[in-house]
Amino acid sequence: MVIAPTISLLIWYIIGLSSFDALLLFVILFAIVFAIIYLVSAYLHNSRVNQLTRIIKNISHKQFEVYDDIQLQKNDELDDLIKQTIRASRMVEKELIRLNKIENYRKEFIGDISHELKTPIFAIQGFIETLLNGAIHDDEVNEVFLHKAMRNVNRLTYLTKDLMEISRLETGELKTNIQEVFLRDLIMDVVESLQFKAQKENIELVLHDFDKNIQIRADRNQIKQVLVNLIENAIKYNKENGKVEIGVTVLNRDKVELFVKDTGIGIDPKDIERVTERFYRVDKSRSREKGGTGLGLSIVKHIIEAHGEKLTIESEPEKSSTFRFTLSRVSHVSV
C-alpha cells in the first residue's frame, strides 16, 4: 500500500532531478540496501556462531542438551560445523555415560569382593589365633579348628578361581573358541565328573538319551563350565533323595535346547531375575555352607550371552527349577 505511492513519488522526484543528482541518489539507495542486507546476514551469522559457542560451552561443562531448537537451513560450512558439533556432543555424552557405568561397576565389584573376602579371612585368622593361644594343645578342638580353617582356605580358593573367571569374561580377555563339538560326549563328560558329588548328597543324576550325532558350534570348555555350574546348583539346592534331569531338545535344524531340571527348593519369582547377578544368593548361609561363591550363575549367563544365546529360568518354589539355554547346531548340508 505504501510502496506504490512511494515508488511513484520517487520516480516523479528522480525525473525532476539532474542526472548527477539522480546518480547520487542511486548510489545512496544502493548503499542503504547493501547495508541492510549486510546487517541482516551479519545478525544471522552471529546468532549461529552464538549457538555454536553455546554447544561448545555446554560440552566443556559436561552439559548435554537435545538442541532441537536449532534450525539449520543454509547448508553452508557453518551449518556443517554446527551439525558436527551437535554430533560430537552426543558422542561425548554417550562415552561419559559408558565410563560412569564402568566406574560404578568397578567400585561395586571391589566393594563386593572385599566383602566376600572378609568373611573367610577373618574366620581363618580367628581359628589360627585360638590355636596359637593354647588350643593347639587341646586334642579335643585342635583338629576341628584346623579343619574349619582349611574349609575357609578352600572357600578363598573357589572365590579366587570364580573371580578370575568372571573378570576375564567381563573384560573380554577370555575369547570364545568356537568349534564343532559332539554334544552327547560333552554332556556325558560333565555328568560323569559330577556323579560322585551327586551320590554323596543322595541325589540321582539322570541324563535323557538323545541323538549322539548332534553336533553344536560352541566353546567346549565354556559350555562344560555352564553345565557344571548348573548341575552343581541343581545338586546343592535340591532336597533329600532328590533328582536332577539333564536333557536336550532339538528345536529345529539350527538350534538345540539344553535343560537342567531339579526337584529342589525352587526360586521365588522375585529372585529369578536377580540370581544371575554377581554375588546374589537367595539364602547366603546355605550357599556358603555348600561352598558357593554367588558367581556361578553370573558366569553361566556371561558364557551363554557370549555365544549369542539366552538363559531362561523357570521355577516352582519348594518344588523344582529348570534352567534352559539354546545352542547352535552344525547343520551338514548335503550337496
Ligand X SMILES: Nc1ncnc2c1ncn2[C@@H]1O[C@H](COP(=O)(O)OP(=O)(O)O)[C@@H](O)[C@H]1O
CA–CA separation, 194 and 233 (whole Å): 11
C-beta closer to Mg ion: residue 81 or 282: 282
Q: Using CB under 5 A, pick the residue from 233, 263, 276, 320 that binds Mg ion.
A: 233
The listed partner (ligand X, Mg ion, none) that binds 262, CB under 5 to 8 Å by sort, is: ligand X
Q: What sign for the dihedral angle of Cα 67, 71, 75, 77?
A: negative
Q: How far is the CB of 233 from Mg ion (least distance, A)?
A: 4
C-beta closer to Mg ion: residue 125 or 160: 160
Q: How far is the CB of 172 from ligand X (least distance, A)?
A: 21
Q: Give the residue carrying C-alpha cell 570348555.
A: 221
User: CA gyration radius for the chain?
Assistant: 37
Q: Which long-range contacts (CB under 8 A, 24 or more apart) does 330-333 make?
A: 330/180, 330/215, 330/216, 330/217, 331/253, 331/254
C-beta closer to ligand X: residue 165 or 329: 165
Which residues of this protein are in contact with ligand X, per CB under 6 A? 229, 233-234, 237, 262, 264-267, 275, 280-283, 287, 292-298, 321
Q: Give the residue carrying C-alpha cell 525525473.
A: 15
Q: Give the residue carrying C-alpha cell 558350534.
A: 217
Q: Using CB under 5 A, pick the residue from 120, 264, 266, 296 that binds Mg ion.
A: 296
Q: How far is the CB of 232 from ligand X (least distance, A)?
A: 7
* The one segment of 104-112, 176-184, 205-213, 228-236 that binds Mg ion by CB under 5 A: 228-236
The listed partner (ligand X, Mg ion, none) that binds 234, CB under 5 to 8 Å by sort, is: ligand X
**What are the C-alpha distances in Å from 2 to residues 12, 130, 293, 318?**
16, 107, 88, 91
Per-residue cell: 165:
573367571
C-beta closer to ligand X: residue 216 or 296: 296
CA–CA separation, 270 and 267 (whole Å): 8
Q: How far is the CB of 192 from ligand X (least distance, A)?
A: 20
3-class state of residue 264 by DSSP = coil
Identify residues 275-294 at the interface with Mg ion (CB under 5 A). 292
Total Cβ atoms within 10 A of residue 139: 8
Residue 328 main-chain phi, psi, to 5 deg: -85, 135
C-beta closer to Mg ion: residue 107 or 286: 286
Q: How far is the CB of 216 from ligand X (least distance, A)?
A: 23
C-beta closer to ligand X: residue 218 or 275: 275
* DSSP label of 291: T
Q: How far is the CB of 298 from ligand X (least distance, A)?
A: 6
Residues of the shown chain interacting with Mg ion in the complex, contacts defined by CB under 5 A: 233, 292, 296
